[in-house]
Chain A
Amino acid sequence: MLHSLALTGPELLLSLGAIALLMVAAFMGDRSTPIVSWLSVALLAGAAILLLGPAGQGGDAFDGLFRADAFSRFAKVLIYIASAVAIIAAQSWFVRGGVHKSEYPILILLSTAGAGMMVSATDLMMLYVGLELQSLSSYVLASFQRRDERSTEAGLKYFVLGALASGILLYGISLLYGFTGSTSFATIFEAVRGPEAMGIGELFGLVFVMAGLAFKIAAVPFHMWTPDVYEGAPTPVTALFATAQKVAAVALLCRVAIEALGPATDAWRQIVIFSALASIVLGAVAAYGQTNIKRLLAYSSINNIGFALIGLAAGTAEGIASVLFYMAVYIVMTWGAFLVVMRMRDVEGQPVEGVANLAGLSRTRPALALAMAMFMLSLAGIPPLLGFMPKLAVFDAAVGAGLWPLALAGAVGSVIGAYYYLKIVKIMYFDDPAPAFEPSRDAVGGGLIAAAAVFVSPAGYLALAPLGLASLVAARSLF
């Protein structure tokens, strides 16, 4: 029991810490927001430190409900970093809007605890509990600016569609349980390996589980909620959805696909391939006409998930490693882009979100424009920016698994996507300047943008060796 508690240390710390901070917030009111925010970041750092101990590579906890391995450690580090940035960056963003409530960092902590459960779950029930904890916090976060119609709409939409997806997922789980007799990944793995492995029941269960998880990662054809929610939710929350939650859901999908349904790779591979290519193409084509930068980034996230799924489709350790590597670079690029979006404020300090507002940014704010251009070209996967490397890794994994036509199709799809990323660069560099943004005095945000820009520049190649090794070790622990 003690061992199990040690293995779940980070989640325990985050949950208990969140409850304690909730008390602080309840008694001190919104005055406590800054201190609660920084304490939350400290808790996330503490959770990350705990990963150095048994929680990092300890093994199974609670009789196989929960596993702490290199894979969960890698994903959790990414999730903690992305969540911490969401708390830090939100400080100046909400303060300007006047509604920075101290519940915000606490909800993020709870969502992060849920995400941690998701990536460590080795049982369908555990998976569901983690997912719901994370989702319920997210619904509230999406409608956090409750006086803003778009924000409340986003929250409601997210809730209704999220509940539907959870229903689909639960139905799939019940089918898998019914036909294999267990909710444990290991048992399901054995059950689908046998000679008459994939009966129609298991197959249906697999399809429903895949569909439910595809909703959570916002892969086509279950992506419809993404643009609306991303547009309506407060920008730091949108960024959280696009980064930390994506990592959690993608890692969860990988674990389910390999640890529970590994022997049925051929059955789910076609679903993943379809979803990957459809996400790449639709994410690229639908982004063409967008005039709102947050909607555009929503489609960008759909597009990028498609590339990550190519790595999963390979179904090999190398493929999973490429997915993890992809997510690691992806969260930095995405956070960078959203941090730039958070700086888009007109002279009165009101946030603006039009793509046209970026016009001529290279002349009014050259450094910001350069950073944004780097994030865009990196998301498009143009070398020498770092975003090229994860695309290379997933294509390489697909080629290694003999799926070179998939790699080719994905590569060609990336050209379609390059168009709208280029469009942002074009608007910033070629067009005549729009009214300049209000100068920002937020040094922390500026520092984060600079750090992200350095990471996606060729200087980030220095991180390739450690990242590549860590993601490979993480991926191997699934097999």
Chain B
Amino acid sequence: MGDDAVNFALVPILSLMLALPLVAAALCLFVRADAARWIALGATVLTLVLGIGLWAGYDLAGPQWQFVERVPLFGRFAYALGIDGIALMLIMLTVFLMPICIAASWRSVERRVPEYMAAFLLMETLMIGVFTSQDLLLFYIFFEAGLIPMYLIIGIWGGARRIYASYKFFLYTLLGSIVMLVAMLWMAREAGTTSIPELMNFDFDPQAQTLLWLAFFASFAVKMPMWPVHTWLPDAHVEAPTAGSVILAGVLLKMGGYGFVRFSLPMFPEASAELVWLVFGLSMVAIVYTSLVALVQADMKKLIAYSSVAHMAFVTIGLFAFNRQGIEGALVMMLSHGLISGALFLCVGVIYDRLHTREIARYGGLSNNMPQYALLFLLFTMGSVALPGTSGFVAEFLALVGAYEANSWVGFVATTGIILSAAYMLYLYRRVAFGVLDKPDVAAMPDLSRREWWILAPLAAAMLWMGIYPESFMAPMRRDVGTLMARIERANPDGDAQVERGPAARPGIVHAEAAAH
């Protein structure tokens, strides 16, 4: 790519962001528990600072791929890094959540702390790696390698059925990805390159696209997760330690959506259009079915896990709506869900640390003795329900507008998800926070500590920021969505809504409207 030459970074900031947690992880293994905690916190905060630098240095009017680094390795493979706006936002989500995860594990993890911190830091490197790779093989290595630390996190520090959950998580995800690997090998031969930006502009034969699309779908659908391959998620969430759940829900699930945006849509537009019914079908089932399942859960983490499946279905619907509102909504949904579900898992963690149970029925009346907690928990509940003013609203509104434009029935079914999410989230909140405070051990629980405030407040602030002024987050992604739209436009299936632009509407207003919501 000729224009790479102009946007090579002076400082290899992406490599730095990869190396910093990795070095800290190695350091953690050689020190005692307390030192490991501080090293981990320091490293994640430093990475966050680097991330903020990345965002500040990202040029909205610059080339599509920025901060590019490229070192040819062996054969056809290269160490190629670079980000566009979509990757930038997901990296920001990752580096933002990591210090919170470390802080959340400060006291709740007592056993084998150095290894725990090392696993988390390794995880951070691998997650950033996924979002920055510009080479197929490099992407696959980061994508897959994340399984190892997560397997250890669930298996060592997890709950009672941790062994089962860790195996299920590992093997499920591995099976999905390995199919993708074979497809990648075929693509690399067919296109003669492993560079992701080049492949994004390579036109594969439509017949081959279908098989390739399905191979990638196998991987991303498991990762996302989509119904019916979502069953590893509730198990993994329930058994993982709190911070593990946050990372899992906050970032790992986003790799599926990222994969659709980065691979499935731009590389196989025809196949995406052809198989849109599959995505819509599975997503609609997911929204209705997993929402209903969430309604009857007795375990808080399981409930939130099922709600994640339902929320991620909005992402798939939005992405495959083939229009700007849908895709932007899906992307905001990924960010918003990362914040909100992470916050909800942290809220569960707060009371789990006190009572050591996740059973909803064991709680009740928390608003009496833990008013601050009840306030924040309510805020995040409302975010999950997509109340206007929270980031969830922006995301779901845009995704549903997009879905309606593509197919009004999909829009209709998906909208029921909002009602259902209000039902299960408010029902959860009522049982935990309201009611009579009649259990003595629950009544004895102290309100949020200063540390817990520091964990939850940034999430609340970010969620409100994204809800009130989403433009900050959508601006870096807008041009990349436009590029993607231009790429997939030729395959865009006809929607059934046949939307006509009204007489008063002029170009540009659509954006302004989207931003204002």
Contact = CB atoms under 8 A, between A and B. Distances in A.
Interface of A: 362-363, 377, 382-384, 388, 392, 395-396, 399-400, 404, 407-408, 411-412, 414-415, 418-419, 422, 425-426, 429-430, 461, 464-465, 468
B148 A468 contact: no
A399 B171 contact: no
A412 B73 contact: no
A407 B182 contact: yes
A168 B170 CA distance: 43
Given A399-B186, A399-B189, A415-B174, A383 B74 contact: no
B146 to A, nearest CB: 10
Contacts of A399: 182, 185-186, 189
Given A392-B185, A430-B163, A418 B74 contact: no
A384 B145 contact: yes
Contacts of A392: 137, 181, 185
B144 A404 contact: no
A414 B178 contact: yes
Contacts of B167: 419, 422, 426
A461 B142 CA distance: 14
B156 interface: yes
B147 interface: yes
Contacts of B115: 362
8 contacts: A384-B141, A384-B142, A392-B181, A396-B189, A399-B189, A411-B178, A422-B170, A422-B171
A426 B163 CA distance: 8
B197 interface: no
Contacts of B175: 412, 415
A382 B144 contact: yes
A382 B185 contact: no
A468 B74 contact: yes
Contacts of A430: 155-156, 162-163, 166
Given A426-B163, A429-B155, A464-B73, A408 B182 contact: yes
A395 B185 contact: yes
Contact of B147 (A382, A400, A464, A468): A382
B144 A464 contact: no
B79 to A, nearest CB: 10
A256 to B, nearest CB: 28
B151 interface: yes
Given A384-B141, A426-B155, A377 B148 contact: yes
Given A392-B185, A426-B167, 20 more contacts: A382-B145, A383-B144, A383-B145, A388-B141, A395-B182, A396-B189, A408-B179, A411-B181, A412-B178, A412-B179, A414-B178, A418-B170, A418-B171, A419-B171, A422-B167, A422-B170, A426-B163, A430-B155, A430-B162, A465-B74
B211 to A, nearest CB: 9
B140 interface: yes
Contacts of A419: 167, 171
B152 interface: yes
B112 to A, nearest CB: 8
B75 interface: yes
A415 B171 contact: yes
Interface in B358-377: none
B369 to A, nearest CB: 37
Interface in B160-188: 162-163, 166-167, 170-171, 174-175, 178-179, 181-182, 185-186, 188
A261 B358 CA distance: 65
A418 B182 contact: no
Contacts of B151: 422, 425
B237 to A, nearest CB: 18
Nearest to B190: A399
B73 A396 contact: no
Is the contact region of chain B dominated by helix, strand, or loop, or is it mixed? helix
Contacts of A395: 181-182, 185
Contact-residue bracket for chain B? 20 to 34
B171 A404 contact: no
A426 B166 contact: yes
Nearest to A418: B174
Contacts of B174: 382, 415, 418
B156 A429 contact: yes
A400 B188 CA distance: 10
A464 B75 CA distance: 9
Interface string B186-228: 1011000000000000000000000000000000000000000
Contacts of B163: 426, 430
A323 to B, nearest CB: 16
A226 to B, nearest CB: 25
A430 B161 CA distance: 12
Nearest to A465: B74
Contacts of A468: 74-75
A383 B182 contact: no
A396 B185 contact: yes
Contacts of B178: 411-412, 414-415
Nearest to A413: B178
A465 B73 contact: yes
Interface in B48-100: 73-75
A404 B145 contact: no
| 7 tightest A-B CB contacts, nearest first | A383-B141, A465-B74, A411-B178, A384-B145, A399-B185, A415-B175, A430-B155
Contacts of A426: 155, 163, 166-167
A363 B156 CA distance: 12
Interface in B414-462: none
Contacts of B145: 382-384
Nearest to B180: A411
Interface in B390-405: none
A419 B112 CA distance: 25
Contacts of A383: 140-141, 144-145
Contacts of A464: 73-74
A382 B148 contact: yes
A373 to B, nearest CB: 9
Given A383-B145, A426-B166, A465-B74, A411 B152 contact: no
Interface in B278-320: none
Interface in B109-124: 112, 115
A404 B215 CA distance: 12
A33 to B, nearest CB: 39
Contacts of A465: 73-74
Nearest to B79: A461
A404 B189 CA distance: 12
A188 to B, nearest CB: 32
Contacts of B144: 382-383, 388
Interface in B125-144: 137, 140-142, 144
A397 B141 CA distance: 19
A107 to B, nearest CB: 38
A384 B175 CA distance: 17
Nearest to A397: B185
A298 B179 CA distance: 27
A388 B181 CA distance: 11
A471 to B, nearest CB: 12
A261 B163 CA distance: 49
A408 B152 CA distance: 27
A408 B218 CA distance: 13
A362 B112 CA distance: 10
B174 to A, nearest CB: 5
Q: Please indicate which of the listed interface residues B73, B112, B145 has the most CB atoms of chain A within 10 Å of its own CB.
A: B145
Nearest to A393: B75
A382 B151 CA distance: 12
Q: Please indicate which of the listed interface residues A362, A384, A404, A407 has the most CB atoms of chain B within 10 Å of its own CB.
A: A384
A384 B122 CA distance: 12
B392 to A, nearest CB: 35
A419 to B, nearest CB: 6
A399 B208 CA distance: 14
Contacts of B156: 429-430
A363 B175 CA distance: 30
